[in-house]
Amino acid sequence: MATASSPTSAAPAPRFDRLLLTGAAGGLGRALRPRLGRLCRVLRVSDIAALGAAGASEEAVVAPLQDAAAVHALVAGVEAIVHLGGISVEGPFEPILEANIVGVWNLYEAARKHGTRRIVFASSNHVTGFYRQDEVIRPGDPMRPDGHYGLSKAFGENLSRFYFDRYGLETVCLRIGSSFPEPKDRRMLATWLSYDDLERLVVASLTAPVVGHSVVYGMSDNTTTWWDNTSARHLGYRPQDSSEPFRAALEAKQPELDPGDPSVRFQGGGFVTRGPY
Ligand code: NAI
Ligand code: 15L
């Protein structure tokens, strides 16, 4: 019979010993930080910006992703990484090159050297932003980046593919749609990913037994959709939220959309017309 001190009554060991969350000071990082602690003994959180005080089971490390030595120290001793850090919007190339391209290269090199088993990479729908809004596409369709930012995420996806093929380092690329507390406009009726579904997607990506190199669009169970995630069902992600309850208010707020406007025609929305810089 199990007693209070017997092994069968002990709390289950966390799934990971040490997890790294980059971009922890950003919007999604702040949403995920309190939700990932249950998966690991120690959550190492990192950003270039201030992180606040580390919790009892946390390590907080300020590190610029473009600094290879800092990133190598950051990755030492972690089993898996949720990589959110970097520039998250369209803009001039140089800063994106440093944070997103050099940064993701540093992260994967460090992960290879330190034997990290899996990375969940925050890619973006802007890898395929030049598909039209009247098309339904799959993760395996050719990339059509809509700017410097989308190009940097395409680089990250290809880099992660190489690190899996060459070194067996597993990655799930999350082509996140629009992850905010609520959808903000009509476009986000198709692209919205609630924070609870984001958590479900990240946890599924971290814990699915075998992911190899997987690509999945990050969206809730929205009625309108441009993305078919059938090929990623092995992850076991089942969204439970939907943008539908927000539809009436958003359509009232934005009654007229010009179908000739590129930001209405293409999935990438306003990103497709930004620049040149
Ligand atoms: P965010 O901009 O709020 O957070 C990004 C974080 O990365 C910031 O805290 C920033 O300080 C940090 N960072 C920027 N440059 C850095 C550098 N050189 N070194 C270290 N840290 C640096 O963005 P958000 O919304 O939290 O997104 C997180 C990730 O998810 C990003 O990679 C973004 O591209 C991706 N994503 C987010 C979407 C969304 O709807 N929120 C949609 C698609 C992708
Ligand atoms: C992204 O990739 C951005 O990080 C986020 O801020 C949103 O703009 C989102 O895409 C979107 O397409 O709505």
Query: Candidates 88, 96, 102: which one to mutate for ligand 1, based on the most atoms within 8 Å of Cβ?
Result: 88
pLDDT band with cut points at 50, 70 and 90 for residue 84:
very high
| Gap from CA of 29 to ligand 1 centroid (Å) | 8
100 lines ligand 1 (CB under 6 A): no
- Choice among 108, 131, 149, 237 that is catalytic: 149
Residue whose CA lies nearest to ligand 2 atom number 11: 178
What are the chain's domains? Answer: 16-273 (3.40.50.720)
Which pLDDT tens digit goes with each residue over 183-204? 999 999 999 999 999 999 999 9
Which pLDDT tens digit goes with each residue over 49-75? 999 999 999 999 999 999 999 999 999
Average pLDDT, the chain: 96
pLDDT of residue 61: 98
Which pLDDT tens digit goes with each residue over 206-240? 999 999 999 999 999 999 999 999 999 999 999 99
Helix 68-75 with 103-114: angle, nearest 10 deg: 40
Q: Is the peptide bond before 276 cis (omega within 30 degrees of 0)?
A: yes
Nearest ligand 1 atom to the CA of 89 is 34
149 is catalytic: yes
Other residues' Cβ atoms within 10 Å of the Cβ of residue 32:
23
**Is 2 a residue whose pLDDT tops 90?**
no
For residue 233, what are the contacts with CB-CB under 8 A and spacing of at least 6?
Answer: none
Nearest ligand 1 atom to the CA of 177 is 42
Residue whose CA lies nearest to ligand 1 atom number 3: 26
23 lines ligand 1 (CB under 6 A): yes
Q: What percent of the chain has pLDDT over 70?
A: 97
27 lines ligand 1 (CB under 6 A): yes
| Gap from CA of 89 to ligand 2 centroid (Å) | 6
Distance separating alpha carbons of residues 55 and 267, to the nearest angstrom: 39
**Is 1 a residue whose pLDDT tops 50?**
no
Amino acid at 52: G
118 lines ligand 2 (CB under 6 A): no
26 lines ligand 1 (CB under 6 A): yes
152 lines ligand 1 (CB under 6 A): no
* CA of 271, nearest ligand number: 2
Q: What percent of the chain has pLDDT over 90?
A: 94
**DSSP, residue by residue, 159-219:** HHHHHHHHH--EEEEEEE-B-SSS--SSTHHHHB--HHHHHHHHHHHHHSS--SEEEEEE-
* CA of 74, nearest ligand number: 1
